[in-house]
Structure 1
Amino acid sequence: YRDTWFYIKDGDIYSKKTFLLLLDLFNLQAGSSTVQGPLLTLPTRSR
């Protein structure tokens, strides 16, 4: 940001967890654009 590097200290678990959550949310949004429909499972009856 503005030609400056930032880091999270090793002991700052709260910030690390928050950053990983934001990273996961970004990856979910930026994932593949292939849309798959829901999987339909039909029960079968065996006699």
Structure 2
Amino acid sequence: MRGLNTSLNIHGYPIVRTAAEGIKVLENSDLDGLILGRHLILHK
């Protein structure tokens, strides 16, 4: 897994502002995982 530090959004959608929006992006993209605070959430 590689790290990425950038604005988080899917093309055509606004930048993610909440944890719930971040999880939606994770579920609907090719991302492998998402770090929220001290938690690493992996996409299956």
Q: Which has the higher helix share?
A: 1
Which is greater in Rg? 1
Per the normalisation by structure 2, the TM-score is: 0.29
Higher relative contact order (CA 8 A, sep 6+): 2
Per the normalisation by structure 1, the TM-score is: 0.27
